[in-house]
Amino acid sequence: MKKYTRLLIFVIIALAACNSNKNTKQAELLKLGIHTVTVKEVIPTSQYTYFNLSEVGNPEVKEGVTVWAAVPFMEAAVGDTLYYKGGYPMKDFKSKELNRTFQEVLFLDSLSKSSEFVKVEIAAVPAHANMSSSDSLTPGKPLIEKMELKIEPLAGGVRIADLYAKRDTYSGKTIKVKGHVTKFSPEIMEKNWVHLQDGTESNGKFDLTVTTDQTVKVGDVVVFEGKIALDKDLGYNYFYEVIMEDAKIIK
């Protein structure tokens, strides 16, 4: 009997130690802004995959509370443990494809199957690296890397470097910009969001965010015409020093 009692005590201590280590790891991840979640439901669509997620190990989240998140199409199964950082919450979001209105959806650049993804991000960005005004490792902002590009100047157009260097000159004006599409995020706040680069930069700023109702693909070289706005603050750490709004593809 004593033998079984000692065995039971050992098992209890081992489980407690395991849970303690797990909680310590999750606390460390939370300090980096990394959330650990369990998949409760998956709804795939043509553009996004919607996940109903339950957070693990966050003392600020009540047990049983879940959140809907949307990421560019990816595969994961109910019960999987995933990790994310940042995100842009949208209240009363209506998915036209699903014909469903969500009370809130957290839009994410990605959900990772490993908590190591942030370490990779940090290692990839040295202290002196160039980052655009919309880039950061803080929650809510994507990491945008500068691409080596040689985009031919557009007659009558504005280069991205000049746009940042002379931003006050272009405030409120409609201009043309030619660039390479580095990121495309559809149907957020009833707009499509595009990141453009043309190979130029000014004081480390090389990426232009464009909002449009038109569709492009990563890798496309396009000419957008739209109005320039400065110091656009959308909340949730989404601040744009320069942004082109309601743009149209003209070429």
The 10 Å Cβ neighbour count of residue 2 is 6
Give, in order, the Cα–Cα distances in Å from 223 to each of 156, 176, 196, 215, 248: 11, 7, 10, 13, 8
Number of compact structural domains in the chain = 2
Q: Which pair of structure tokens corresponds to residue 165?
A: 């260097």
Instruction: Let me know if residue 173 belongs to a domain.
Output: yes
Question: Which domain-ending residue is among 107, 124, 141?
Answer: 124
Q: Any alpha helices (H) in the chain, and if so which ranges?
A: 2-31, 117-124, 160-165, 167-170
Q: Which pair of structure tokens corresponds to residue 240?
A: 């744009």
> Which range of residues forms the domain containing residue 72?
34-124
What string of pLDDT tens digits covers the 251 residues of the chain? 555 555 554 444 444 444 444 455 667 777 777 888 999 999 998 888 999 999 988 888 888 889 999 988 888 999 999 998 888 888 888 888 899 999 999 988 888 888 765 544 433 333 333 333 333 323 334 457 788 888 999 999 999 999 999 999 999 999 999 999 988 888 777 788 899 999 999 998 999 999 999 999 989 999 999 999 999 887 655 788 999 999 999 97
Alpha carbon dihedral 82, 88, 89, 93, in 10-degree steps, equals -100
Looking at the fold, whether 205 and 235 belong to one and the same domain comes out as: yes
